[in-house]
């Protein structure tokens, strides 16, 4: 059963990474997969968000920062070393420049020795997307689209298997939901404590 799942994972990798590869996709996905590419757009979006939503924006952005602060180190420092899965572009998989079981793979960032499962990009983006969806349910398409494209980019550039981004996405969704509902619980708790006592009818 495990061998079948691994074969499916590799086949999906080659489909998204190699079969669909073209100059436009390679440039696009290589750009969006880099975290630095999102710094300026993120700052601009945050400024407009604060101007429009004011206090609520600060609350949402605060929850988003907490979400990523939980998601990223949990993935990189705990889950990745625990699972200990090499990336598809790990140097040990190459002999004379040819991949042992992913022939034809498109490895846009060369070889990398770090661990693969789960994808931190997928985990962070889906945790953030889930949190934002719960605050703004009607805009779920935008949040999901951005998260999906960034997660998919990790396969397209050759640094993750599809199962890596799937696992990261699922765990990320759980973290995003957890932070949101914890915030709602604390909010209700504070509101109940600040609620004035009811006057007796006697």
Tally the residues of the chain: 202
First to last CA, the chain: 71
Q: Alpha-carbon distance 144 to 172, whole Å? A: 12
What is the number of domains present in the chain? 1
- Tens of pLDDT, residue by residue over 24-69, are 988 899 898 988 888 898 899 888 889 888 888 899 999 999 999 9
Q: Identify the domain containing residue 153 by its residue range.
A: 2-194
Domain contains 199:
no
Q: Which residues pair with 99 in a beta bridge?
A: 94
Q: What percent of the chain has pLDDT over 70?
A: 93
Domain contains 128:
yes
Q: Alpha-carbon distance 199 to 42, whole Å? A: 49
Domain contains 131:
yes
| pLDDT of 202 strictly over 50 | no
| Structure-derived torsion over alpha carbons of residues 106, 109, 112, 118, reported in degrees to the nearest 10 | -80
| Residue 162 structure tokens | 């599809």
For the entire predicted model, the pTM comes to: 0.85
Domain contains 155:
yes
The pairing of beta strand 98-99 with beta strand 94-95: antiparallel
- Tens of pLDDT, residue by residue over 101-151, are 776 777 877 788 888 899 999 999 999 999 999 999 998 999 999 999 999
CATH assignment at residue 84: 1.20.144
């Amino acid at each position: 059963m495990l061998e079948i799942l691994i074969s499916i994972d590799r086949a999906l990798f080659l489909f998204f990474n190699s079969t669909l590869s073209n100059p436009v996709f390679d440039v696009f996905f290589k750009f969006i997969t880099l975290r630095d590419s999102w710094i300026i757009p993120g700052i601009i979006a945050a400024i407009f968000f604060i101007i429009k939503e004011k206090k609520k924006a600060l609350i949402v952005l605060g929850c988003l920062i907490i979400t990523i602060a939980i998601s990223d180190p949990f993935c990189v420092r705990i889950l990745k070393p625990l699972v200990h899965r090499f990336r598809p572009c790990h140097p040990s998989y190459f002999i004379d420049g040819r991949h042992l079981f992913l022939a034809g793979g498109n490895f846009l960032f060369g070889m990398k020795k770090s661990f693969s499962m789960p994808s931190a990009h997928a985990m962070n983006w889906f945790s953030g997307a889930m949190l934002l969806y719960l605050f703004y349910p009607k805009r779920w398409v935008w949040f999901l689209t951005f998260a999906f494209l960034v997660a998919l980019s990790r396969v397209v550039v050759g640094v993750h298997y599809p199962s890596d981004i799937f696992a990261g996405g699922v765990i990320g969704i759980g973290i995003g939901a957890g932070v949101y509902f914890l915030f709602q619980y604390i909010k209700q708790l504070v509101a109940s404590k600040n609620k004035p006592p009811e006057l007796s009818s006697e």
